[in-house]
Amino acid sequence: MTGIIGLLIALIALPAFSQPKLEKATFAMGCFWCAEEAFEKVPGVISAVSGYTGGKVKNPSYEQVSSGRTGHAEAVQVTFDPAKVSYEKLLDTFWLNHDPTVKDRQFCDAGSQYRPELFYHSEEQKRLAEASKAKWEKEKPFRQPILTPITPAGEFWPAEEYHQDYYKKNPVQYRFYVTGCGRYARLDQLWGALRKH
């Protein structure tokens, strides 16, 4: 009897097998289709969801946001496992996949809804984001100043289902869009060999 009780006590004392502690990161970098593609390729990223943030209308539609009158930016919310990928790695992915030298536009898309912006979810993310921006301000291979702001994350509204994983569902149209928009050409012009790593 005492052996069974001892075994039960030992089992209770064992740490429970827990799920990995996942974290969120939110980035606006122009078209959210392109942001999804960039982040979903990073090992340790669990998901990247296209959506809207930074505006004043609750649960906005794509039509409302694309009017430029709601204050939202197209953004991607990344869920990641910090045991497999660091927030700093995600920050590098963010910087190297947008044009930080412009405000209310990215590539061929113009308007505040396409503005680049880095949204932090904690004081630690804010500290790391500011350090990352300072690093790139020092090391950037282009002359123009970095204009991308760092702001607190607010409510994030997932976009309509047809926007999710657009680059996978519609590869031909997506490739036509990014090529015609000059996205990769401009990124290579800005960041050069840094984008190859």
| Span 178-193, pLDDT tens digits | 999 999 999 999 999 8
pLDDT bin (cut points 50, 70, 90) of residue 70 is: very high
The rounded mean pLDDT for the chain is 92
Residue 81 scores a pLDDT above 80: yes
pLDDT band at 142 (very low <50, low <70, confident <90, very high): very high
pTM: 0.88
Between strands 105-106 and 109-110, the pairing is: antiparallel
Is the pLDDT score of 9 beyond 90? no
With cut-offs at 50, 70 and 90, classify the pLDDT of residue 10.
low
| Burial of 66: CB neighbours in 10 Å, binned 0-12, 13-18, 19+ | middle
CATH number of 19-196: 3.30.1060.10
7 pLDDT above the threshold of 60: no
Which pLDDT score, from 0 to 100, does residue 196 have? 72
Instruction: Specify the pLDDT at position 20.
Output: 76
How many C-beta atoms lie closer than 10 Å to residue 90's C-beta? 24
What pLDDT does residue 114 have?
98
Position 136 scores a pLDDT of 97
> Residue 16: pLDDT above 70?
no
**pLDDT, average across residues 27-49:** 97
pLDDT at residue 66 above 60?
Answer: yes
Identify the sign of the CA torsion 172, 178, 182, 186.
Answer: negative
- Of 13-17, 59-63, 105-109, give the lowest mean pLDDT range: 13-17
The catalytic residues are 31
Q: Sketch the domain layout of the chain as residue ranges.
A: 19-196
Residue 104 phi/psi, 5-degree rounding, is -80, 55
pLDDT score of 106 more than 90 = yes
Mean pLDDT along residues 29-51:
97
